[in-house]
Amino acid sequence: MRDTDLREAADLIDRAGRIVIFTGAGVSAESGIPTFRDAPSGLWEQFDPRRLATPEAFGDDPALVWGWYEWRRAAVQQVEPNPGHRALAAIEQRAPECVVVTQNVDDLHERAGSKEPIHLHGSLFAPRCSACGRPATVANGAPAVEGRVPPPPCDHCGAPIRPGVVWFGEALPVDAFEAAVAAAANCDLLITVGTSAVVFPAAEIPQVTARMGGAVIQVNPEPTPLDAVARVNLHGTAAEVLPALVEAV
Ligand code: BJW
Ligand code: ZN
């Protein structure tokens, strides 16, 4: 990461009235949560998303899918937010207006102090009935190893409870997506952190800001399609770059 880039990014943050922070799995990597597409640890490098992250997969083998998500829920509960999450919460706190929009299904932004992040892809902590849609409470003590676990039945209708995440082929929650698009269209600055920006429609969010004339800062150790629209590219990891950025602001 170049000093001049860090300075330019800090100046953009200083001058911005409205900021959007847009995050992906990379922001949680240094907490010990694997990303999806980074080799060799990425979840989709090890597991087939068609068997685990589609409505058809849940219909075919609910216990396989429920057990996998329960294992992931347990893993998130065992880790802590990292300095990247905390630096983002600090940026949010000092900005005149700031919205955090995350694709992540963990609760690490909330636990780091971010106020009501918008979850575009749902949450591991919001299971609901697969038939009637009512929210469900599930017991703590999720399994520490992956394996089949039959989903509990809905208290109301008896249908299986499903994870409250957005699978491939499913629509994003309308309110969340609309709020994210509106925030991205109306901000002065969007800071994108730790996303490969290949999953749509979420990947449109930073593009919306760029199209509307807002500045985009990217934090990522690897190139992404957002290199083309980023005014400043901070090459490095979230837990390294973001605290340095807060220091420079
Ligand atoms: C670091 C770091 C460190 C590492 N610090 N950085 C247009 C074109 C093509 C396809 C489509 C299209 N529109 C729709 C589609 C289909 C599909 C899609 O986009 N497919 C593409 C993959 C080809 N989209 C959908 O199906 C969506 N639904 C939809 O379109 O519905 C239409 C519809 C409308 C109306 C009615 C009905 C239907 C839904 C997408 C849902 C995505 N779900 C997942 C799983 C969530 C649940 C779970 O957790 O299991 O969401 S997939 C997965 O990818 C997850 C993530 O949120 C998402 C994005 O991944 P992310 O966060 O970017 O992670 P990675 O691993 O890809 O990248 C990590 C990055 O971090 C890398 O860049 C690293 O370099 C970096 N990094 N360490 C900072 N320490
Ligand atoms: Zn039900």
What digits encode the pLDDT tens for the residues 20-60?
A: 999 999 999 999 999 999 999 999 999 999 999 999 999 99
pLDDT grade for 141, boundaries at 50, 70 and 90:
confident
- Type of residue at 21: I
pLDDT grade for 140, boundaries at 50, 70 and 90:
confident
- Ligand 1 proximity of 220 Cβ (cutoff 6 Å): yes
Ligand 2 center to 137 CA (angstroms): 12
Ligand 2 center to 152 CA (angstroms): 11
User: What residue's CA is closest to ligand 1, atom 56?
Assistant: 103
Render pLDDT for 228-245 as a digit per residue (tens, 0 to 9).
999 999 999 999 999 999
Instruction: Evaluate if residue 226 carries a pLDDT over 80.
Output: yes
Ligand 1 center to 15 CA (angstroms): 31
Q: Kind and range of the H or E element at 39? A: none
Cβ–Cβ < 8 Å for 84, 27: yes
Render pLDDT for 61-120 as a digit per residue (tens, 0 to 9).
999 999 999 999 999 999 999 999 999 999 999 999 999 999 999 999 999 999 999 999
The sign of the dihedral angle between the CA atoms of 213, 214, 218, 224 is negative
pTM (two decimals): 0.97
Say if residue 117 is preceded by a cis peptide, omega within 30 of 0: no
Q: How far apart are CA 181 and CA 143, in angstroms?
A: 36
Instruction: Evaluate if residue 154 carries a pLDDT over 90.
Output: yes
Whole-number pLDDT of residue 164: 98
Q: Coil, strand, or helix at residue 29? A: helix
Ligand nearest the Cα of residue 58 is 1
Whole-number pLDDT of residue 145: 82
User: What residue's CA is closest to ligand 1, atom 50?
Assistant: 53
Ligand nearest the Cα of residue 130 is 2
Instruction: Evaluate if residue 146 carries a pLDDT over 90.
Output: no
